[in-house]
Amino acid sequence: MSLILFDTLERSLHKLSPMDGETFRFYCCGPTVYGPAHIGNFRTFVLQDLFRRVLELGGLKTMHVRNITDVDDKTIRDSLKTGQPLTEFTAHWRDKFHVDCRALNCLPPHVEPGAVDHIPLQIEMIRTLISKGHAYAAPEGSVYFKVSSFDNYGRLSRLKERELKMGSTTSSDEYEKDTLADFALWKARKPEDGPNYWPSPWGEGRPGWHLECSAMSREYLGDTFDLHSGGVDLIFPHHENEIAQSECCTGHQFCAHWFHITHLLVDGAKMSKSLGNLYTLSDLAERGFTPAEVRYVLVAAHYRAQLNFTFDSLLAARSALAKLAKAERALAQRGEVTAAPEYDLMKGVGPGPFVEAWESLNNDLNTAEALGQVFVALKVFKPDAMTSEQAAAAHCGLHFILAAFGLILPEPEEAADVPEEVRSVADRRWAARTAKDWPLADTLRKELDVMGWIMKDGKESYDLNPK
């Protein structure tokens, strides 16, 4: 079985397989590190993680590249506000992003390049684009991509079918979605950039945001790779511009498939920093919700469906996870399971009785349907009526599906009577421990001690007991 996915460029479903016959190579646009990522951003990153897990559990090798945007209008603006050097400021938010990714059980990408470390590559690309007549230097020292020089401009976002205002040039990283304009590849130094500028053949300045992904994907994945992904807001102009830059520079197709994730909404509006309607993992931990509950909410809806974030959905996630944990425990007991299940589809040990859920995941990552099928199957199973072998096989199959979702189950019996404030501290300690932040983990352990609780660390989760 191989994964079938909706391709934004073709607007149709496609069976995915690595173009080199070996490794599925994909690129995800990463975070802009100027503050904590919100759970809207994490809808995208968690779905990309699920995508990778399904490919790998299906037996494919992957190469996952995700960049860090550590220089752009916003990172420069906010680092100057704090008075910190840009690299120090962005390193802080990059590290926080990593802590949250681990708490959400996202696999780290194989390569995670930062834009600042790849400025010479970006300059090289601009040189090539100028020499091929696709870019021009403006008198003030900026360099622009000439949109009219690329016939295929607008294919991904179907620009020809939309009414567009014609602009001449734009130097803003995120410009109006209904304006077609030559965009900046290199931005001449401005006083408001402070000390954040680099030398180039066109004078001091810095690269435009769109260019970094073209340069870094080429460096780590080659001229053409299997798939490119991001949230839907990136389709235009960011991904359209990436295609234009890359294809004009290399003369080859940029990537075979495009995978875009629909936005997480709050009260019907996109969750975003600019609208001030965002929640971070820390906000939710303060209200007693665990990263596993957040992950459940994010994966429970199909990636192309709108998902409206509510606290009720987090409570529903809590009860769904408790149900799964109870079922897992019953199957383990009946199956007399003593070790972690060893599934491997290549050896024929896969989803077992949860095969329908696995099929749904492979059918355009239909997570909503797959979860429904897991619960239907669990309703039908009566562990007491199963042989120990049947229960052990079902237990292994359940773990296979949970691994595809990246879900870690809570300890069932403890969930009910631990006070919310205790669980919140314990979750923060677990996140700190996973992030190897030992001083913070120790402080939080002491806090739990004062509250009268002992936390015992397991491999995938923890136990809480009153002193």
Q: In the complex with Zn ion, which residue's Cβ is closer, 218 or 423?
A: 218
Region binding Zn ion by CB under 5 A among candidate stretches 11-19, 29-37, 40-48, 71-79: 29-37
Could you tell me whether strands 12-15 and 135-137 are parallel, antiparallel, or unpaired per DSSP bridges? Answer: unpaired
Find the shortest distance in angstroms from Cβ 301 to ligand AMP. Answer: 11
Q: Total binding residues for Zn ion by CB under 5 A?
A: 2
Segment 157-162 long-range contacts (CB within 8 Å, at least 24 positions apart): 157/235, 157/236, 157/239, 157/240, 159/236, 159/240
Considering only residues 202 to 231 of the shown chain, the ones binding Zn ion according to CB under 5 A are 213
109 binds, among ligand AMP, Zn ion, none (CB under 5 to 8 A by kind): none
264 binds, among ligand AMP, Zn ion, none (CB under 5 to 8 A by kind): ligand AMP
Task: Outline where 104-208 has alpha helix (H).
Answer: 119-131
Pick from 99, 264, 297, 398 the residue near ligand AMP by CB under 6 A. 264
Decide: is 263 part of the binding site for ligand AMP (CB under 6 A).
Answer: yes
The crossing angle, in degrees rounded to 10, of helices 291-300 and 39-57 is 70
Cβ closest to ligand AMP, residue 40 vs residue 154: 40
* Number of neighbours of residue 401 by Cβ within 10 angstroms: 25
- Pairing mode of beta strands 165-170, 179-188: parallel
- Kindly tell me the sign of the dihedral angle through the C-alpha atoms of 12, 268, 105, 112: positive
Cβ at position 309, least distance to ligand AMP in Å: 9
Cα–Cα distance between 355 and 16 in angstroms, integer? 20
- Say if residue 190 is exposed, middle or buried (CB neighbours under 10 Å; 0-12, 13-18, 19+): middle
Calculate the CA dihedral of residues 169, 175, 178, 181 and round it to 10 degrees: 20
Contact status, residue 170 vs residue 158, Cβ threshold 8 Å: no
Q: Is there binding between residue 32 and ligand AMP (CB under 6 A)? A: yes
What sign does the CA torsion over 357, 358, 362, 367 have?
Answer: positive
Question: Using CB under 6 A, which of 8, 44, 75, 362 touches ligand AMP?
Answer: 44
Residues 174-233 contacting ligand AMP, CB under 6 A = 230-231, 233
Q: How many CA atoms lie within 13 A of 136 on its CB side?
A: 9
Nearer to Zn ion, 29 or 278 (CB): 29
What are φ and ψ of residue 230, in 5° steps? 180, 180
156 binds Zn ion (CB under 5 A): no
**With binding defined as CB under 6 A, does residue 40 bind ligand AMP?**
yes
Site string for Zn ion, 163-202 (x = CB under 5 A): ----------------------------------------
**Listed ranges 22-30, 99-107, 150-158, 174-182: which one lies at the site for Zn ion (CB under 5 A):** 22-30
Task: Tell me: does residue 29 bind Zn ion (CB under 5 A).
Answer: yes
CA distance 355 to 110: 29
- Count of CB atoms situated within 10 Å of the CB of 360: 20
* 8, 41, 67, 157: which one binds ligand AMP (CB under 6 A): 41
Q: From CA 210, how far away is CA 73, in angstroms rounded?
A: 12
Stretch touching ligand AMP by CB under 6 A, among 86-94, 258-266, 401-409, 449-457: 258-266
Stretch touching Zn ion by CB under 5 A, among 27-35, 215-223, 254-262, 350-358: 27-35
Residue 272 or residue 443: which is nearer to ligand AMP going by CB? 272
234 binds ligand AMP (CB under 6 A): yes
Q: Judge contact between 69 and 32, C-beta under 8 A.
A: yes
Select the binding partner of residue 291 from ligand AMP, Zn ion, none (C-beta < 5 to 8 A, by kind).
Answer: none
DSSP codes of every residue in 310-343: -HHHHHHHHHHHHHHHHHHHHHHHHTT--S----
Stretch that binds ligand AMP, among 41-49, 107-115, 312-320, 345-353 (CB under 6 A): 41-49
Tell the smallest beta-carbon distance from residue 402 to ligand AMP (Å): 23
> Residue 213 binds which one of Zn ion, ligand AMP, none, with CB within 5 to 8 A depending on kind?
Zn ion
Can you give the binding site for Zn ion, defined by CB under 5 A? 29, 213
Can you give the binding site for ligand AMP, defined by CB under 6 A? 29, 31-32, 40-41, 43-44, 69, 230-231, 233-234, 261, 263-264, 270-272
